[in-house]
Amino acid sequence: MSLPVLQSTVTFGGFSFDPLVWSEPLMWLVLAAFLGSAVLHQFETEWARRVAVTGWGLFAAFWLVLTPHFVLTQKSAIEGVGGLAAVPLSLYAGYLLWNGRDSLFVLTRAVGLMGIVYVPFITIDPLRQWLVEVVTDQTAFLLSLVGVDPLVVDGLTHDGIRIATKQYPYESTFWFDHEEGPITYNILLACTGMGSISIFAGGILAVSAPWRRKLRTLAMAVSVIYVLNLFRNVFIAISFGQQRMQWFEGVVMSLFGLSDPRMVSYYVADRILAQTGSVVVLVGITWLLVRELPEITILVEDLLFLVTGTEYDLQSAFDIDGDGTEAAATPSDD
C-alpha cells in the first residue's frame, strides 16, 4: 500500500490508526464501482444496480474512516459533520437505488466523474505541485495589491526552522515575521478549490444535456469557484499572518484544542468564517447552475430527498418543462 498524500495518525482511546491510509484503497474501490456501474448501465440495468449499490456501501465506509481525520486532525466542525452525515446518506442512497429509484444512477455517475477530475491531483505529484504553486503565486499577487507582502518560501524548513504541517517542499508557504516567532500559512491542495470544482464538474458532466451548454456551464462554475477561492486564501493569509482575528481566545483554544494562542486567528478565519462562507457560496452557485443547466435539477432533487425524505419538484419551481429545458428556451440556447 502506498503512502497517502498526507499522513494523519489519529489516536483515540489508546487506539491509533491513519484514516488516510485506510481511505486510499476505499477511494479506488468506490471509483471503480461507480464508473463500472455507469458503463454497465448502458447495457444491463440490473447488474449496474448491483455494482452501484456496492459502491454506495463502500462510499459510506470511506466517509466513516475519514470522519476522525476531519474532527480530530483538521478540527473542522463543518467537514466533520458533513463526513459523518455522508455515512447514513450513502447507505440510504444504495437502499433507494436497490429498491428502484433509478434517478440515482445519475448521482452515482456524477460521483464517479468527480473522482476522475479530483484523483489525478492527489496521485500525480507534478500535477499537484503545479496547481499548488500556481495558486500560491496568484494569492501572493493579490496580497501585494492590498499592501501585504509576506515572503514566499519553498522547502520544509526556512532559516533552520521547520515549517509546521508542511508535507511537500513546494513553493507554497507564506512566511510572516512575528515578534513571538514566524507565522507560516501553507497552500495545500485543499486550498486550490479543486475539491469544489470536481464536485460541480462531476454533476455537470453526468447529466443529459447538449455538450455546448454543459461546457459553457462548466466554464462558468470553474471560473467562479477558482476566483472566489483565491480571495478566500487572501482573507485567511491576512487574518492569520497579521493576527487580525484573535477573538475569544480562551473559547476558541478550548473548542479546537489549541496550545498556541496565535492559531486562534487561523481557526476563526478558516474553520469558522471561511468554511461557513464556502457552504453559502456553494448553495448560491448551485442555484446559478440550475438556471443555466436545468437538467442538473435531477441531482439536486435526489440530494434533497436523501437529506429530507421529501420529494421536490424543482422543474416547476424553476419553470422547466418535462424534457429538462426552460419553458422560455429556444434552440439557439444550446
Q: Can you give the residue ranges of every domain in the chain?
A: 1-123
Residue 6, pLDDT > 60, answer no
Confidence class of residue 333 from pLDDT cuts 50, 70 and 90?
Answer: very low
Q: Is 101 a catalytic residue?
A: no
Cell of 94: 444504495
Determine whether 232 is an active site residue: yes
pLDDT band, very low/low/confident/very high, at 180 (cuts 50, 70, 90): confident
Minimum mean pLDDT range among 89-98, 253-262, 287-296, 315-324: 315-324
Of 147, 145, 122, 140, which Cα lies nearest the Cα of 233? 140
Length of the chain: 334
How many Cα neighbours within 13 Å face the side chain of 84?
A: 11
What percent of the chain has pLDDT above 90? Answer: 64
Grid cell 448521482 in the structure block, residue: 107
Which of 49, 109, 213, 232 does the annotation list as catalytic? Answer: 232
Q: pLDDT (tens digit, 9 = 90+) per residue, 97-107? A: 999 999 999 99
Q: Which three cell numbers stand for residue 123?
A: 496521485
- Residue 309: predicted pLDDT: 86
pLDDT recorded at residue 3? 31
What is the Cα–Cα distance from 257 to 31, expressed in whole angstroms?
35
One-letter amino acid at 205 equals L
Torsion angle of the four alpha carbons 253, 231, 169, 270, in this order, in degrees rounded to the nearest 10: 10
**Which sign, positive or negative, has the C-alpha torsion 216, 218, 221, 226?**
negative
Interval 148-168 mean pLDDT? 87
CA quadruple 260, 262, 264, 267: dihedral, nearest 10: -90
Please, which pLDDT band fits residue 332 given cuts at 50, 70 and 90?
Answer: very low
The string of pLDDT tens digits covering residues 259-297 is: 889 999 999 999 899 999 998 999 999 998 998 899 999
Whole-angstrom distance, CA of residue 152 vs CA of residue 88: 43
Count CB neighbours of 3 within 10 A: 10
Any alpha helices (H) in the chain, and if so which ranges? 19-40, 45-68, 77-98, 104-123, 125-145, 194-206, 211-241, 249-256, 264-266, 275-292, 297-308, 314-317
> What gap in Å lies between CA 73 and CA 120, rounded to an integer?
24
Residue 226, exposed/middle/buried by CB under 10 A (0-12, 13-18, 19+)? Answer: middle
Q: Select which of 49, 109, 128, 191 is catalytic.
A: 191
| Average model confidence (pLDDT) across the chain | 87
| CA separation for the pair 5, 8 (Å, rounded) | 10
CA pseudo-torsion sign 312, 316, 322, 323: negative
Would you tell me the crossing angle of helices 297-308 and 275-292 to the nearest 10 degrees? Answer: 130
Helix, strand or coil for residue 186? strand
Residue whose C-alpha cell reads 501585504 in the numeric block: 148
Asked if pLDDT for residue 71 goes beyond 90, the answer is no
